[in-house]
């Protein structure tokens, strides 16, 4: 019990350090006129440095790699392709939901329906997005060392006595999702990131979205490893501006960080967990 309380206290220490560091960095960059995209890249490393600070304050050796193990699990093609495909799938699901509700949709995925001549431009767009995703992974690692690294490990220890796998997953996703979402608050406040019209009120939508994505990323972490989580996060970030421009709807109704995003990522997450359960049952039947 005392050890668990110690882990909770350490997690709270990390959260306070991470939020303080992020807020200070965002404010300093705003004062010095740093553009939003550059500010975001810099701030994305704040969670990783908060992990380093926490380790130092706990007087233990720094081993970031221990929070990132295993890097990849299973067949390499699966560990790399699945996290890339998922954000594209969520985008397509979101487009179908928006279209079914009578919302006008646009963008490279929509133009293909107007004729085969758009196939080449779509292929180039997908190639560009893939390269962008791979490059963006370098930056999302700064966040993922915290969310799917340090926080993941700590919550596994804190929730070790939870016998129900479903309850453990739910608590894990709610805690990680809330920490992850609120971490964006300084950037939303100072730079209007993701929610230019609603500001911090956007957190009311972003928090459930981050909880849903944390549910999926927990399974990805367990099935494919740390780097698959970083790659999924990077692909989502790379596609996010195009998702936003896919409909005329404002931020809290957008396909990247709005209500439709919650719906589309919920469908993708449910599909993955159902497929995961089917694979597990099939494997047990072969034994």
Distance (Å, whole) CA 260 – CA 208: 12
Q: What is the pLDDT of residues 223-257, one digit of tens each?
A: 999 999 999 999 999 999 999 999 999 899 999 99
Give the span between the Cα atoms of 54 and 63, in whole angstroms: 12
pTM: 0.94
Q: How many CA atoms lie within 13 A of 38 on its CB side?
A: 7
Q: How far apart are CA 102 and CA 121, in angstroms?
A: 26
Please give the pLDDT value at position 40: 93
Q: Locate 255 and state its tokens.
A: 């396909």
Residue from 149, 237, 229 nearest 193 by CA: 237
Distance of CA 4 to the CA centre of its chain: 27
Q: What pLDDT does residue 183 have? A: 98
Q: What is the mean pLDDT of each run of 10 residues along the chain (287 residues)?
A: 85 97 97 93 96 91 88 94 97 94 84 59 88 96 98 95 92 98 97 94 97 98 98 97 92 95 98 93 77
209 burial level (CB within 10 Å; 0-12, 13-18, 19+) = buried
- Rounded distance between C-alpha atoms, residue 162 and residue 159, angstroms: 5
pLDDT score recorded for residue 76: 94
Indicate the SS3 state at residue 225. coil
Give the pLDDT confidence score for residue 117 in this predicted structure.
57
Q: What pLDDT, on a 0 to 100 scale, did the predictor assign at position 115? A: 56
Say what the pLDDT of residue 108 is. 76
32's CB contacts (< 8 A; 6+ apart) are: none
What's the alpha-carbon Rg for the chain, to the nearest Å?
A: 19
Distance set, CA 250 to CA 110, 128, 247 (Å) = 19, 26, 8
Residues 124, 127, 133, CA angle at the centre, nearest 5°? 140
Phi and psi angles of residue 238, each rounded to the nearest 5 degrees, phi first: -65, -35
Give the E-state strand segments of 8-141 in sequence order: none
Question: What's the pLDDT at 163?
Answer: 87
**Cα 282 off chain centre by:** 29
Annotated domain spans of the chain: 2-286
Would you state the pLDDT for residue 118?
63
């Amino acid at each position: 019990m005392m050890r668990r309380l110690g882990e909770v206290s350490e997690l709270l220490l990390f959260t306070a350090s991470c939020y303080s560091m992020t807020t200070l960095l965002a404010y300093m960059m705003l004062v010095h006129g740093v553009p939003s995209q550059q500010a975001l890249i810099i701030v994305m490393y704040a969670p990783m440095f908060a992990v380093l600070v926490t380790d130092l304050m706990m007087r233990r050796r720094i081993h970031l790699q221990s929070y990132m193990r295993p890097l990849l699990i299973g067949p390499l093609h699966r560990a790399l392709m699945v996290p890339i495909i998922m954000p594209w799938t969520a985008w397509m699901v979101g487009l179908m939901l928006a279209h079914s509700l009578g919302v006008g949709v646009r963008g490279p995925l929509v133009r293909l329906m107007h004729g085969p001549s758009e196939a080449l431009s779509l292929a180039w767009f997908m190639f560009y997005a893939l390269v962008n995703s791979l490059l963006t992974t370098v930056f999302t690692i700064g966040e993922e060392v915290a969310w799917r690294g340090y926080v993941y490990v700590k919550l596994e220890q804190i929730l070790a006595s939870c016998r129900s796998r479903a309850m453990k997953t739910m608590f894990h996703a709610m805690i990680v999702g809330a920490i992850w979402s609120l971490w964006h608050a300084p950037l939303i406040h100072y730079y209007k990131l993701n929610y230019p019209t609603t500001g911090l009120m956007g957190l009311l939508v972003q928090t459930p979205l981050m909880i849903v994505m944390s549910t999926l990323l927990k399974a990805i972490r367990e099935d494919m490893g740390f780097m698959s989580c970083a790659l999924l996060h990077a692909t989502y970030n790379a596609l996010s501006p195009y998702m936003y421009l896919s409909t005329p709807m404002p931020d809290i109704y957008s396909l990247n960080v709005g209500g439709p995003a919650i719906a589309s990522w919920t469908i993708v997450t449910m599909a993955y967990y159902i497929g995961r359960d089917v694979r597990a049952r099939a494997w047990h039947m072969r034994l």
